[in-house]
Amino acid sequence: MEEMPKTYDPQAAEPELIQKWIDAGCYQRSKGVGDCTVVIPPPNVTGILHMGHAMDDTIQDTYVRYSRMRGRSTRWILGTDHAGIATQTKVDKKLKDEGVSRLKIGREKFLDACWDWTRAYGGTIVSQIKRMGCSIDFSDEKFTMSPEFSRAVRKVFCDWYHGGLIYRGKRIVNWCPSCATAISDDEAEYKDEKGHLWYLRYPLAEPVDGIDHVTVATTRPETMLGDTGIAVSPSDEAKAGLVGKTVVLPIVDREIPIFADWHVDADFGTGFVKVTPAHDPNDYAMGQAHDLPQINIFDEHAHVVEGYGEFSGMDRDACREAVVAWFDEHGLLERVEELDHSVMHCYRCDTVLEPWLSEQWFVAVDKLKERATEVVRSGEVSFHPERWTETYLTWMDNLKDWCISRQLWWGHRIPVFYCDECGWEDALEEDVDVCPHCGAKVHQDPDVLDTWFSSQLWTFATQGWPEHPEGLAGHHPTKVLVTARDIIALWVARMIMSSLYFTDEVPFHDVYIYATILAKDGSRMSKSKGNGVDPMELIEKYGADAMRFNLLTLVTNNQDVKFDATIDKKTHELLESPRTEQAKGFVTKVWNASRFVQMNLDGYEPGPAAAATEADAWMLSRLAREVELATGQLESYEFGDYARGLESFFRNEVCDWYVELCKGRLVGEDAAERLQVQRNLVFALDTCMRLLHPVMPFVTESVWDALPASGLDAHDAQFLMVAAWPEPEAYAGLVNDEAEGSFELLRSVVGAVRSTRARYRLSPKERLVTSARMGEADAARFTTLAPLAERLANVGLSFGPEARKPVGSVSVSDGALEVFVELGDVIDLEAERVRLSKELARAEKDLASVERTLGNAGFVAKAAPEVIEKKRAQAAELEAMIAQVTEQIRDFS
Please state the φ and ψ torsions of residue 518, each to the nearest 5 degrees. -100, 165
Smallest CA-to-CA distance from 64 within 53, 55, 73, 51 is with 73
Cβ neighbours of residue 431 closer than 8 Å, sequence gap 6 or more? 415, 417, 444
Distance between CA atoms of 406 and 346, rounded to whole angstroms?
14
Distance between CA atoms of 175 and 183, rounded to whole angstroms?
6
Distance between CA atoms of 837 and 843, rounded to whole angstroms?
10
Distance between CA atoms of 681 and 657, rounded to whole angstroms?
12
Residue 541: count of CB within 10 angstroms of its CB? 18
Measured in whole angstroms, how far is the alpha carbon of residue 796 from the centre of its chain? 53
Helix (H, G, I), strand (E, B) or coil at 361: strand
What is the DSSP-derived secondary structure letter of residue 652?
I
Query: In this structure, are residues 1 and 601 in contact, taking their beta carbons and an 8 Å threshold?
Result: yes
Query: In this structure, are residues 405 and 447 in contact, taking their beta carbons and an 8 Å threshold?
Result: yes
Strand 79-80 relative to strand 354-363, pairing: unpaired
Can you give 240-278 as a three-state secondary structure string? HHHCCCEEEECCCCEEEEEEECCCCCCCCCCCCEEECCC
Cα distances from 495 to residues 143, 400, 429, 475, in angstroms, run 17, 16, 21, 16
List, in sequence order, every residue forming a beta bridge with 481; answer none if it has no partner: 511
Distance between CA atoms of 341 and 346, rounded to whole angstroms?
17
What is the DSSP-derived secondary structure letter of residue 791?
H
Smallest CA-to-CA distance from 695 within 22, 4, 20, 60 is with 60
Length of the chain in terms of residues written: 893
Q: Which helix (H) or strand (E) holds 335?
A: strand 333-345
List, in sequence order, every residue forming a beta bridge with 181; answer none if it has no partner: 176
Strand 273-275 relative to strand 229-232, pairing: antiparallel
Strands (E) located in 445-544 = 448-449, 478-484, 508-514, 516-518
Burial class (CB within 10 angstroms; exposed 0-12, middle 13-18, buried 19+) of 555: buried
Burial class (CB within 10 angstroms; exposed 0-12, middle 13-18, buried 19+) of 68: buried
Query: In this structure, are residues 402 and 494 in contact, taking their beta carbons and an 8 Å threshold?
Result: yes
Q: Between the CA atoms of 879, 885, 886 and 892, what dihedral angle is there, to the nearest 10 degrees?
A: 170
Has 527 been labeled as part of a binding site? Answer: yes
Binding residues: 527
Binding residues for ATP: 527
